[in-house]
Amino acid sequence: MNRSAPLAPAIPTRSGLQPETAGMLLGLVGVAIFSLTLPFTRMAVSTLDPAFVALGRALVAALLAAVWLLWKRAPLPPTSALPALALVSLGCIIGFPWLTSIAMRTLPASHGAVLVGILPLATAVFAALGGQEKPSAGFWGMALLGSVLVVGFALRQNGGSFHPADLAMFGAVILASMGYAAGGRLSQTLGGQQVICWALLLSVPLLLPLVLWLSWDQADAIVHAGARAWTGFAYVSVFSMFIGFFFWYRGMALGGVARVGQVQLVQPFLTLLGSSLILGEALETATVLFAIAVIAVVALGRKMQVKRQ
């Protein structure tokens, strides 16, 4: 197996780590934060409407983004960045939260977690389609193997079939991977924090009227939602929709979209653990075995060549 051969020596980050290593570590922190999204979303949609949870969490994060941009006195993004920011907004801020909120009304968080396992492959596909990265055949093989493992795990849990809400989860994965790839590329020039913050603000004209209407239409349910639902809503608003992306996009900017994206292969199993601790969902021995297999695939995939342009 061949490692990437950079044209010039890699410049260490301020932490002293090589960019690829720092990117993988930052990506892992982001994945750890994202891994609790489905359990907390399931808590929130137990009494709150899925559309309110999905759009409301993005609006809360947009308010935090506005505060951060003002604090940093960040300049406006160039017009050339708007298409990529729109993809981040469509995929990560609106599409993924909305579809997963719908799915979590009927699917266990542990089941949805394993479907998210195909995110690394989908993210690598969009990174390659964007022309910025060219993964080797070995890399594609490891990405495909990891995806087969998690999809096979999902089928095993359901006796060889998918739930109707699985389609919503697969749609969410496609939209998220599109946003991840676009945001990861843009982070190399704009910076990961600014990418997610400007993408959130770009969504406000759509989010604000919809959230206001949903708040009026569902006022009684919102008032009586309870502490458990609001705890779930708070987590997905502050951590899943805002803080997690600071680590995630910075990691992809340093280590590459396709390579750092492979860290997501461990996300389903971190989610399964979180679902067990937070929701009391069963954690089986087979889950641990699949987790070991997926982590091994991530380790092998990290050694495969990925050419970055």
pLDDT at 7 over 70: no
pLDDT at 203 over 50: yes
159: left (phi over 0), alpha (psi -120 to 50) or beta: left
Angle, to 10 degrees, between the axis of helix 267-279 and the axis of helix 37-45? 40
At 5, the pLDDT band (50, 70, 90 cuts) reads very low
Mean pLDDT of the chain: 84
In angstroms, the CA 192 to CA 251 distance is 8
Beta bridge mates, 307: 134
Do 177 and 115 touch, CB atoms closer than 8 A?
no
Least Cα distance to 262 among 101, 104, 150, 95 occurs for 150
Q: How far is CA 65 from CA 54, 70, 200, 246, 299, in A?
A: 17, 9, 7, 11, 34
At 11, the pLDDT band (50, 70, 90 cuts) reads very low
pLDDT at 215 over 90: yes
Residue 158's pLDDT is: 67
Q: Which residues contact 25 (CB under 8 A, 6 or more apart)?
A: 17, 251
* Tens-place pLDDT, residues 159-196: 666 677 888 988 999 999 999 889 888 988 888 899 99
Average pLDDT over residues 206-231: 92
In angstroms, the CA 238 to CA 114 distance is 24
At 6, the pLDDT band (50, 70, 90 cuts) reads very low
Do 302 and 69 touch, CB atoms closer than 8 A?
no
pTM (2 decimals)?
A: 0.83
CA within 13 Å, CB half, 254: 24
Residue 9's pLDDT is: 44
In angstroms, the CA 137 to CA 133 distance is 13
Residue 3's pLDDT is: 43
**CA angle in degrees (0–180, nearest 5) for 17-128-94:** 85
Indicate the length of the chain as a whole number: 309
In angstroms, the CA 268 to CA 32 distance is 10
Write down the residue that tokens 């994060």 correspond to: 61
Average pLDDT over residues 196-207: 95
Residue 242's pLDDT is: 94
pLDDT at 85 over 80: yes
Class of residue 76 by CB neighbours under 10 A (exposed 0-12, middle 13-18, buried 19+): exposed
Percentage of the chain surpassing pLDDT 70? 89
